[in-house]
Structure 1
Amino acid sequence: MRHSLPLTPQFYVTAPQACPYIDGRRERKLFTALQGSGAGALNDKLSKQGFRRSQNVLYRPSCADCTACLSARIRLEDFTPNRSQRKTTRRNAHLRREITSPWATEDQYALFRKYLTARHADGGMADMDIFEFAAMIEETPVRTRVIEYWDDRAVETGGLPELRAVCLTDVLDDGLSMVYSFYDPDLPAESLGTHIILDHIDIAREAPLPYVYLGYWVPGSPKMGYKAHFSALEIFKDRAWQPIGHPTDHAHATHPLSVEPIAEQVAQIELPDVATT
């Protein structure tokens, strides 16, 4: 006889450290291990509740005095690119998309180092070596793909294809989750970061899947402001997905009284059911 029993992962909280998005704030994360035969179901379920994956861990910001990090996703049924985004797609029409299994390559790592040096030289990943990079790409217990974007134009004159952008992407039961992306920082006019998102929208629609998960949007953070430029953007707030509305509507999320106790946050997490005999 089959019975449906809930998974019971253990949740932990990291020690506070400097927030990478808001000056003067301290960040803390609620996290759990992602492993075993139920990893895919757990990733699907918790992604719908604002969690993100990093290797074999699922995490969600759980800061002591701030709730500004809001998980964001695009609702594809209602998404329409704006004029600037349509130009970005045309500008990058020459790029060849290649979808592969999650294997790290030297070309990827070279582009990754170039991207970090230009954009995040003081970030937490700045010292990542090739072995740590390989672990970030390859250590995944769920259905993951690496999506590469190649420029083949140099081939016409005897050159080699050039890797312009990469995205590590999880395939969820209701969408694509963009775990981490990086691109050539020497081509700012190409808007490669925006192009990656727009192309993921195309891939999800072809699947078909209803959402593209973008990670966290932080009101007031210049690093995250670009996400609010996509139409049909939803955020996970007050335990539900809702249209983002105007970005300034969420300024109160940095108020310390907006935070629920950790025990209450964990108690409200919905877990998947697994079939057992």
Structure 2
Amino acid sequence: MTDLKELHFFSTPEHSCSYIKGYKAKTLFVDPQSNISATAFSQLSDLGFRRSGKHIYRPHCEHCQACISVRVPIQFFQPNKTQRRIYNKNKDLIVQKTIPRYTDEYFKLYSDYISLRHADGDMYPPNKEQFISFLVEGQQPCEFLEFYLDSKLIGIAVTDRLTKGLSATYTFFDPDPALQHRSLGTYAILWQIEECRKLNLEYLYMGYWVQSCRKMKYKIAYRPLEFLIDGQWILIRSQ
């Protein structure tokens, strides 16, 4: 098993913050050449690290603590009325698990999603190399969850497997307005929460929440949440 004390870490120079306009950020990376076991990756996740392709990282800003790691404690989570409605509305979808890989079908779905939902972000314009380095590469246990309406692929949730839970790494879906009523992003999270229940896992890790970032507001809809504050996971039932 990998000993965390043996890992090497690298900090980036300051760069523009992706979450708060006008702020500068620094990022701490685990040496991508390290052979990190699934157990060690889970331990790093408990310390607030996330994965992007083969890179495992967390914010490392000197004068800002706005990025807070959050996870859903499965034992206590109860969907609200809106979430129950969304879950029931999508019961006709078929979900299949597969290994991370590149296909033209996947990339078209990803490209349409980025182009229409996140054209103002640093992932635009999407390209094949970006898709592979972000979602396919990496040595950690990971699955693509394919969401099908009849025989049409309409969404993919990229999910890492941890010792105590699942990590919702990224979700992209068909931005067709005709599917908007399904709230596919919400359904993907709810599906992963239910999958944790079936697998007797304790948590769904949801990455970082930044209070002032509009695009992250959706995360606090899943309550209660645990927030990683000063190295301790704290259960917060309301926000």
**Conserved 8 A contact 1:146-1:166:** yes
TM-score, with structure 2 as normaliser: 0.92
Query: Deviations 1:28-52 (Å, cap 9, x if unpaired)?
Result: 1111125555432221111001100
Deviation at 1:98, TM superposition (A): 0.7
Considering only aligned residues, what root-mean-square deviation do their CA atoms show, in Å? 1.9
Structure 2 residue corresponding to 1:203, chosen from 181, 191, 195 = 195
Which ranges in structure 2 are unaligned for 5 or more consecutive residues? none
Paired residue for 2:15? Answer: 17
1:171 aligns with 2:161: yes
Structure 1 residue corresponding to 2:221, chosen from 224, 229, 238 = 229
Secondary structure class of the residue paired with 1:22: coil
State the AA in 2 paired with 1:243.
L
Give the number of the structure with larger relative contact order, counting CA–CA contacts within 8 Å between residues 6 or more apart: 1
Paired residue for 1:113? Answer: 111
TM-score, with structure 1 as normaliser: 0.80
> Where do 4+ consecutive residues of structure 1 move more than 4 Å?
3-7, 34-37
Secondary structure class of the residue paired with 1:224: helix
Query: Deviations 1:238-276 (Å, cap 9, x if unpaired)?
Result: 1010123554xxxxxxxxxxxxxxxxxxxxxxxxxxxxx
- Matches for 1:38-117 after TM superposition, within 5 Å: 38-117=36-115
Deviation at 1:79, TM superposition (A): 0.5
Deviation at 1:106, TM superposition (A): 1.4
**Conserved 8 A contact 1:32-1:58:** yes
Aligned residues: 237
Secondary structure class of the residue paired with 2:6: coil
Secondary structure class of the residue paired with 2:69: strand
Identical-pair percentage: 35
Paired residue for 2:28? Answer: 30
- Higher radius of gyration, 1 or 2: 1
Paired residue for 2:206? Answer: 214
Cα 1:5–1:107 change in 2 (3 A) is closer
